[in-house]
Amino acid sequence: MLVWHEIVNEDFGGEKVSITYCPLTGSAIGYKGTFQGIESDFGVSGKLINSNLVMYDRETESYFPQILGTAVDGELKGQRLEEFPVLWSTWGRVTDYYEEARVLSEDTGFIRDYDRDPYGSYVEGSGYYVDNALIFSAMFEDDAFERMDVMIAGRLGDQPFAIPKDTLAEEKTVRFNLGDQTLVAHYDEDLDTARVFVENDDEAFVNSFDVMWFAWYAFFPETMIYE
């Protein structure tokens, strides 16, 4: 459903949130709906930067590239949104782990074939997701990995990092230095996802998410890479 609509604006426990997904960059990110004293939600602008969804804040009409999470135009230019964790997994894994999990209704009011991904198959590996060809250009490119290789990526403050998901799945736990901090990434085999923390402090959660290598590098060519 998110391949077609890209953004879901919801209310959980009285808190407004937006769950966002860009199929061209394979990135699923959650953003809080209250920021800079403004309560709003997001729409799809129809624009792209580095093939990535550009959202717009409906209150101020400021533009936010989804991966960057910072306004590049409008009243809020330069302001960064607050993320919250969104775990990429399968429905089968989720319901085994969270028995009361709920799923979006397909009764959206739009005529869409929600059983079909127009870009191919992310799960089975076909079409756009594996052909390594970009539909739109990227500002920066690097051939350390294949363009569509999946990274576990995030930022600690303004310091970006990227871990190949296959590497993390194989090693289960990795440690790496980022600035003056040591981070620890754990692979969660039950959900096929990852969680990143500051070492020796499991309360110091560092948000991360799945994203294609080309897109992360295009926004953050200075990224630290765990290899």
CA-nearest of 210, 222, 212 to 90 is 210
**Does position 203 have pLDDT exceeding 80, yes or no?**
no
Residue 221 covered by a domain: yes
Residue 156 covered by a domain: yes
**Does position 143 have pLDDT exceeding 90, yes or no?**
yes
Domain with 188, as residue range(s), is: 147-225
Q: Which pLDDT score is estimated for 10?
A: 92
Count of domains forming the chain? 1
Residue 175 covered by a domain: yes
**Does position 124 have pLDDT exceeding 90, yes or no?**
no
**Does position 227 have pLDDT exceeding 90, yes or no?**
no
Residue 172 covered by a domain: yes
Question: How far is Cα 195 from Cα 208, in angstroms, rounded to an integer?
Answer: 7
Average pLDDT on 113-127 reads: 88
pTM for the full model? 0.94
Q: Which pLDDT score is estimated for 14?
A: 87
Highest mean pLDDT among 106-110, 147-151, 199-203: 147-151
Phi, psi of 37 (to 5 degrees): 75, 10
**Does position 201 have pLDDT exceeding 90, yes or no?**
no
Characterize the bridge pairing of strands 63-65 and 52-57: antiparallel
Residue 180 covered by a domain: yes
* Contacts by residues 162-168 (CB-CB < 8 Å, ≥ 24 positions apart): 162/213, 162/216, 162/217, 162/220, 162/223, 162/224, 162/225, 162/226, 163/194, 163/225, 163/226, 164/226, 164/227, 165/194, 165/210, 167/226, 167/227, 168/194
CA dihedral 96, 18, 69, 73 (to 10 degrees): 160
Residue 118 covered by a domain: no
Could you tell me the two tokens for 1?
């459903």
Residue 86 covered by a domain: no
Residue 174 covered by a domain: yes
